[in-house]
A and B are shown apart, each in its own frame.
Chain A
Amino acid sequence: MDTLDLTPFWLSLRLAATTTLVLLVLGTPLAWWLARTRSRVRPVVEALVALPLVLPPTVLGFYLLLLLGPQGPLAPLLGALDLRLVFSFTGLVVGSVLFSAPFVVNPLKNAFEAIPAGQLEIAATLGAAPFDRFRSVVLPLAASGLVTAAVMGFAHTLGEFGVVLMIGGNIPGETQVLSIAIYDRVEQLDYRAAHLYSLGLVAFSLVILVALYASKRARELARP
């Protein structure tokens, strides 16, 4: 009886963590802008962010494959940067960031929208510059939205399959994340490994979701 290969597990964790981090960094300013702007392009941007919710992942994966592939329009740029985005871990991160964006941007946007404009105006009259206001008022008040965004982004990336398969393929150690590994083992009729991976994923997802809801409840109770 051979031991279970844990590489897909670590790869999934790395992908989910990297994606979440990138999304928090890029999604926070985007969500802030969406929450405060009166611009007419706002609905268009909102729709673009929400698009992965309604499209089959294969559509996104297919276009990413064409866009980032060696014959794609971005090929000269990527070549110059010596970046290979298809069938590579970096490519998976790009795909996951787009695919999980609504799960991070929407909770952030909702949290930002819930902050009364008066709070920020008062902070400004008290001498807080824009970044100071963001750090001292917005972030603490949006903390629970931030946690939700991070957990949802992480959990959703962990569970993705279609996009990864389309642009990452099934390269062990590079792009064979947990969901792909399960599919691969089932194809090979290795049900034992498929079970272990699947159960592991169920247990892990359950743990972080319970942790999320428990922390939310604790926060509500702790409100002074």
Chain B
Amino acid sequence: MTRLAIDVALHRAVFALEAAFELGDRGVTTLSGKSGSGKTTLLRCIAGLERPDGGRIRWGDEAWFDASLPIDVPTHRRGVGFVMQDAHLFPHLSVRQNLEYGARRGGDRPGPTDLDRIAADLGLARLLDRGVTNLSGGERQRVAIGRALLGRPRLLLLDEPVSALDVVATADVLGALERVLESLPIPCLYVSHDLREAARLADRMLWLDAGRIAADGPVWQVLSDPRLPFAQEEDAESVVAGRVEAVDPSTGLARVGFDGGDLWIAAGEVAAGSKVRVQIRARDVSLALRRPEAISVLNILEARVLDVSEARNSPSQALVRMQVGGTLLLSRVTRRSAAELGLAPGVLVWALVKSAAITR
């Protein structure tokens, strides 16, 4: 069911935004695009922090913004949680008081009310009575996320929450986000220019190009769309969503079942039964016409070629899109190999993926 419906236009000296899309009841949607494409502005329009020049924003049957009426519901009555690049914690309040700030103003909206529970989920339990000025960057962002969630928002907006953090803090915050977003009963719009983040957290992806929505669909589909820049990038990758079927402690590998077969991946911290999304770089996928034997590669998947296109920025290579069951897989091979194997739409191939090259 559609919750948020947005169709706005906004003109600034440097760019124009004309975007329309809808968000459903729940699920994480990532909004990506090059810097300057209008991602943040769009998010700020939804929150009521920026006023579009025209169009409308609706939440269910409530009008949040309508230039023709005109209606412009102020931010504090929209009930949106917002996490910005900078945590913007209130420096005069402790961690607990920061978390309580939204909790106290959330009105009678449904949502999490158990502060200690959220704090535990976000790994903040031992920080609750500290001030916020000496927290690390990762800790600050986790407090900001908890504060937004405890405000019992109807919609969660995240604007590049990890882009100002170092690698360790990024992993830390993304892990926390993954935990809280999985069971989130509200829609979430996540702005990011990092595809790994997007692939890890989101189900759906919107690609914003020069202020317009240029692509909209499941993450795996948008990421492998040869018309879009991702598939053309040197480290283009496909995303495979599945469930951990088994973990083999003796080899340190986990078997992930997905729509199209099984993949062996390094088990790392995954537990049997959990949902995972793995990323396979196109250049780590080799192709064979016959099933190879006596080979070190653990993952050998039967695939049907959908299309073959020239890699735009390296003319020696071709981008092959394949279907493995209901899953899309990208491979980057030389054009010579593509020609020798006779790769064309409909051809059946074996896709070889080294377990060591699969990341999550």
Contact with A along B111-154 (1 / 0, CB 8 A): 00000000000000000001111100000000010011001010
Check: B79 CB closer than 8 A to any chain A CB.
yes
Tell whether, in the assembled complex, residue A125 and residue B80 are in contact, meaning their CB atoms are under 8 Å apart.
yes
Tell whether, in the assembled complex, residue B47 and residue A137 are in contact, meaning their CB atoms are under 8 Å apart.
no
Tell whether, in the assembled complex, residue B88 and residue A119 are in contact, meaning their CB atoms are under 8 Å apart.
yes
Check: B350 CB closer than 8 A to any chain A CB.
no
Q: Of the 9-residue stretches A62-70, A126-134, A153-161, which lies at the interface with chain B?
A: A126-134
Tell whether, in the assembled complex, residue A124 and residue B130 are in contact, meaning their CB atoms are under 8 Å apart.
no
Tell whether, in the assembled complex, residue B84 and residue A124 are in contact, meaning their CB atoms are under 8 Å apart.
no
Tell whether, in the assembled complex, residue B105 and residue A223 are in contact, meaning their CB atoms are under 8 Å apart.
no
Check: A136 CB closer than 8 A to any chain B CB.
yes
Tell whether, in the assembled complex, residue A127 and residue B88 are in contact, meaning their CB atoms are under 8 Å apart.
no
Contacting residues, chain A, for B48 (C-beta < 8 A): 124
Q: How far is the CB of A29 from chain B (nearest CB, A)?
A: 19
Tell whether, in the assembled complex, residue B82 and residue A122 are in contact, meaning their CB atoms are under 8 Å apart.
yes
Contacting residues, chain A, for B132 (C-beta < 8 A): 224
The distance in angstroms between the C-alpha atoms of A99 and B153, with both chains bound, is: 48
Tell whether, in the assembled complex, residue B134 and residue A125 are in contact, meaning their CB atoms are under 8 Å apart.
no
Tell whether, in the assembled complex, residue A127 and residue B92 are in contact, meaning their CB atoms are under 8 Å apart.
no
Could you say which interface size class chain A belongs to?
Answer: 20 to 34
Tell whether, in the assembled complex, residue B151 and residue A125 are in contact, meaning their CB atoms are under 8 Å apart.
yes
Check: B342 CB closer than 8 A to any chain A CB.
no
Tell whether, in the assembled complex, residue B88 and residue A116 are in contact, meaning their CB atoms are under 8 Å apart.
yes
Contacting residues, chain A, for B315 (C-beta < 8 A): none
Tell whether, in the assembled complex, residue B47 and residue A123 are in contact, meaning their CB atoms are under 8 Å apart.
no
Tell whether, in the assembled complex, residue B101 and residue A123 are in contact, meaning their CB atoms are under 8 Å apart.
yes
Contact with A along B72-114 (1 / 0, CB 8 A): 0011101111101010101110100000011001110000000
Partner of A127, one of B49, B86, B107, B133: B107
Given contacts A125-B47, A126-B148, contact A224 B88 (CB under 8 A): no
Check: A140 CB closer than 8 A to any chain B CB.
yes
Tell whether, in the assembled complex, residue B76 and residue A127 are in contact, meaning their CB atoms are under 8 Å apart.
yes
Given contacts A116-B88, A136-B101, A224-B94, contact A125 B133 (CB under 8 A): no
Question: Is chain B's interface secondary structure helix, strand, loop, or mixed overall?
Answer: loop
Count residues of B near A (Cβ-Cβ below 8 Å).
33
Tell whether, in the assembled complex, residue A127 and residue B131 are in contact, meaning their CB atoms are under 8 Å apart.
no
Check: A190 CB closer than 8 A to any chain B CB.
no
Tell whether, in the assembled complex, residue A128 and residue B88 are in contact, meaning their CB atoms are under 8 Å apart.
no
Check: A118 CB closer than 8 A to any chain B CB.
yes
Tell whether, in the assembled complex, residue A224 and residue B130 are in contact, meaning their CB atoms are under 8 Å apart.
yes
Q: How far is the CB of A137 from chain B (nearest CB, A)?
A: 6
Q: How far is the CB of A124 from chain B (nearest CB, A)?
A: 4
Contacting residues, chain A, for B106 (C-beta < 8 A): 126-127
The distance in angstroms between the C-alpha atoms of A98 and B101, with both chains bound, is: 38
The distance in angstroms between the C-alpha atoms of A132 and B75, with both chains bound, is: 13
Q: How far is the CB of B190 from chain A (nearest CB, A)?
A: 16
Contacting residues, chain B, for A129 (C-beta < 8 A): 74, 76
B84 to A, closest residue via Cβ: A118
Contact with B along A92-129 (1 / 0, CB 8 A): 00000000000000000000000010110111111111
Partner of A125, one of B82, B86, B92, B94: B82
Tell whether, in the assembled complex, residue B84 and residue A223 are in contact, meaning their CB atoms are under 8 Å apart.
no
Tell whether, in the assembled complex, residue A128 and residue B76 are in contact, meaning their CB atoms are under 8 Å apart.
yes
Contacting residues, chain A, for B153 (C-beta < 8 A): 125
Contacting residues, chain B, for A193 (C-beta < 8 A): none
Check: A141 CB closer than 8 A to any chain B CB.
yes
The distance in angstroms between the C-alpha atoms of A116 and B89, with both chains bound, is: 11
Contacting residues, chain B, for A137 (C-beta < 8 A): 90
Q: How far is the CB of A210 from chain B (nearest CB, A)?
A: 25
Most B CB contacts (10 A, CB to CB) among A125, A129, A137, A224 go to A125
A125 to B, closest residue via Cβ: B82
B80 to A, closest residue via Cβ: A125
Contacting residues, chain B, for A132 (C-beta < 8 A): 76, 105
Contacting residues, chain A, for B151 (C-beta < 8 A): 125-127
Tell whether, in the assembled complex, residue A118 and residue B101 are in contact, meaning their CB atoms are under 8 Å apart.
no
Contacting residues, chain B, for A119 (C-beta < 8 A): 88, 90
Partner of B88, one of A122, A130, A133: A122
Which residues of B29-49 are within 8 A (CB) of A? 47-49
Contacting residues, chain A, for B86 (C-beta < 8 A): 116, 118
Query: What are 12 sample pairs from A and B whose C-beta atoms fall under 8 A apart?
Result: A119-B90, A123-B90, A125-B81, A126-B102, A126-B151, A127-B105, A128-B76, A129-B76, A130-B76, A223-B91, A224-B132, A224-B134
| 5 additional contacts (CB under 8 A) given A122-B88, A223-B131 | A116-B88, A122-B84, A125-B47, A126-B101, A137-B90
- Residues on B lying within 8 angstroms of A by beta carbon are 47-49, 74-76, 78-82, 84, 86, 88, 90-92, 94, 101-102, 105-107, 130-134, 144, 147-148, 151, 153
- Residues on A lying within 8 angstroms of B by beta carbon are 116, 118-119, 121-130, 132-133, 136-137, 140-141, 223-224
